[in-house]
Each structure stands twice: as structure tokens, then as C-alpha cells.
Amino acid sequence: MSNLIPTSSLDIYPMNYTLKASHKLVKNILTRIGTNWFGAVMLAYVGLFVIQINFIWPIEKFYFGELTAYASLLFLPHSIRVIAAWLLGPKAILALFPASVISGYIIGTTIDNGLNFYLNSLFRSASAVIAFEFLKLMKMNVYPTGERMTSWRNVIFAGCLASFFNSLSNAYFMGTSLGAGELFELIFRFIIGDILGLLISMFVLMILFRYARFNEK
């Protein structure tokens, strides 16, 4: 029996449509957030951090020990740093910094660390912006501009670079009481935790975007 559906029609979402649809969704998200981007970023970051300390950290502590108090092997809030920096640029730091400080208040890390806590919070909040701006300086602009939609892989690459900058900041401010071996493990955990948190969050976002594209038709 011959195929009643032409082969060309099986490609429901060709690449050019996918990119345009994704770009349209990003623009719609920015439009809906509008002047509320500050609150949206803070709420998303602190919300994922609450999930982190109540669900992910207890499991990690049970299986991997006390070093998870310094660095998680699956840190979901890093995805908010990356996505906020991608969509908002440098002004994302204005929301990410207080969100990071509030997260520190939640777990009480400000008590003994003083000024170092606030400096580390600032550098952590700026890590993704630094990564995007560094790539832009290297002629690899991954910000969404005009009608051009950035590949998810480029955003993930920028997020991986941001995790490296973040790990250096955390190691400098938090690793003073650790030995060389523990410090190396700390840096490794920060990088792996940030990247895994970003990958999982981006995977969920891609599924949601695909679902939204189907519902648009």
C-alpha cells in the first residue's frame, strides 16, 4: 500500500520554524515578565534554592557526606543565573545578588563569614554575566538579538564557563580552611553541580517549549 501522507509533510517542525517559534516564545516570556523581571528572577532563584536544601542536599549528605554542605553535585539555582544573564544581560546581577544573599540567610551562612559572604554572593551572581560578556568579547555573542535565536548548546556552553568562574570564587572565599585535596574536590563539585543543575533545568525547559509550540498550533 502506498503511503497516503507525503514524506515532506512528516517534517512537522522544520528547523527554521523551530528557531522562529523558540525565538517567539522567548520574546513572549520577556514581554510577560516586563517590569517584573526583578521579582521573577529572585522568586525563581530562591524557590529553586528552597527545593535544593529541602530535597537535594539531604539526599546528597546521606550518600556523599558533609562536603555537600560546601558544594552540591546537583545545584539547580545555577540555571537561573545562566538564563537570567542570557535574557537580561548585566542587569540580571541586580536581582541575582539579593537572591543569593537571601539564600544565604536561609541557611545561616552569613553568621561567621561576614564581608566575605557578601563578596562571594556578588561574584557568584556575576559569574554567568561574566561568562556571557567574555564570550561576547571573544566574538561569540550568545545573547538573543533581533531575529536571531541562540542555540541551546551555546547557552549551555556559556553556563559551563560560568560554573568555572563560580567555582573559583567559591573556592577562594570558602576553601580557606580546607587542604589542597579537599579544595580540588570542592572546585570539582562546584563545576559538576552547576553543570548538572543547568543541564537538567534546560532539558525541562526544552520540553516545556516544545509542548508550548504544539499548543500554539
Q: What predicted TM-score, i.e. pTM, was given to this entire model?
A: 0.78
Most distant pair of Cα atoms in the chain: their distance: 76
Separation of alpha carbons 110 and 98, rounded Å: 13
pLDDT tens digits along 122-166? 999 999 999 999 999 998 888 877 656 667 888 899 999 999 999
Q: What is the mean pLDDT of residues 98-112?
A: 80
Q: What is the pLDDT of the chain when averaged over all its residues?
A: 78
Beta carbons of 45 and 98 less than 8 angstroms apart: no
Among the ranges given (73-87, 140-154, 183-197), the one the predictor scored with the smallest mean pLDDT: 140-154
Q: Where are the alpha helices (DSSP H) in the chain?
A: 15-33, 37-51, 57-64, 77-88, 93-107, 110-113, 115-137, 152-174, 180-216
